[in-house]
């Protein structure tokens, strides 16, 4: 299992009239956390794309437990529980500044060969950097 942490500060434009994080913004937070998680792993998204692999989102799920608020620093814990195959599942837990769990989410992405536009296995470089977490 691989885990990483990322923080984001809630900007005014990401909130609704009540000062709560607008529900649609959580998908953007997932992306920020996913990109940073891969960077922390040592394999940035750009490197995967440079290998000829795209990673479009296939599914997304969200569970809202409590509101995130304007100007809070949120901590996003990103987890990959299973060794990826053609698909990779990212799970997210978002905590407020009081360390309270306010949101849970999940995305499933698929590896796609840019040349053939067909699903494929993850690049060898990704399998190598993840291998120690799934031994």
- Percent of the chain topping pLDDT 70: 100
Band (pLDDT 50/70/90 cuts) for residue 8 is: very high
Give per-residue pLDDT as tens, 41-59.
999 999 999 999 999 999 9
Strand duo 73-80 + 112-113: pairing: unpaired
- Give the chain's mean pLDDT: 97
The pLDDT assigned to 11 comes to 97
Nearest to 8 by CA among 93, 73, 68, 64: 73
How many other C-beta atoms lie within 10 A of the C-beta of residue 123? 18
Task: Look at the block and give the residue holding tokens 């040592």.
Answer: 42
- The domain limits of the chain are 2-134
The pLDDT assigned to 135 comes to 84
The pLDDT assigned to 92 comes to 98
The pLDDT assigned to 124 comes to 95
Calculate the CA 4 to chain-centre distance: 10
Nearest to 109 by CA among 125, 76, 85: 85
- Which class does domain 2-134 fall in? alpha beta
Give per-residue pLDDT as tens, 9-30.
999 999 999 999 999 999 999 9
Report CA-CA distances (Å) from 94 to 1, 18, 19, 120.
Answer: 18, 19, 17, 30
Dump the DSSP string for 56-116: -EEEEEEEE-S--BTTPEEEEEEEE-S--SSEEEEEEEEE-TT--EEEEEEEEEE-EETTT
The pLDDT assigned to 108 comes to 98
């Amino acid at each position: 299992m691989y885990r990483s942490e990322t923080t984001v500060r809630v900007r005014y434009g990401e909130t609704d009239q009540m000062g709560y994080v607008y529900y649609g913004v959580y998908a953007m937070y997932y992306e920020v956390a996913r990109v940073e998680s891969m960077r922390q792993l040592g394999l940035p998204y750009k490197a995967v794309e440079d290998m000829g692999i795209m990673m479009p989102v296939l599914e997304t799920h969200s569970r809202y437990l409590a509101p995130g608020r304007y100007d809070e620093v949120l901590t996003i814990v990103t987890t990959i529980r299973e060794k990826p195959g053609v698909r990779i599942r990212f799970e997210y837990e978002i905590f407020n500044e009081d360390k309270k769990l306010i949101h849970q989410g999940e995305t499933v992405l698929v590896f796609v060969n840019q040349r053939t536009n067909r699903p494929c296995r993850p690049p060898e470089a990704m399998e190598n950097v993840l291998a120690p977490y799934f031994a």
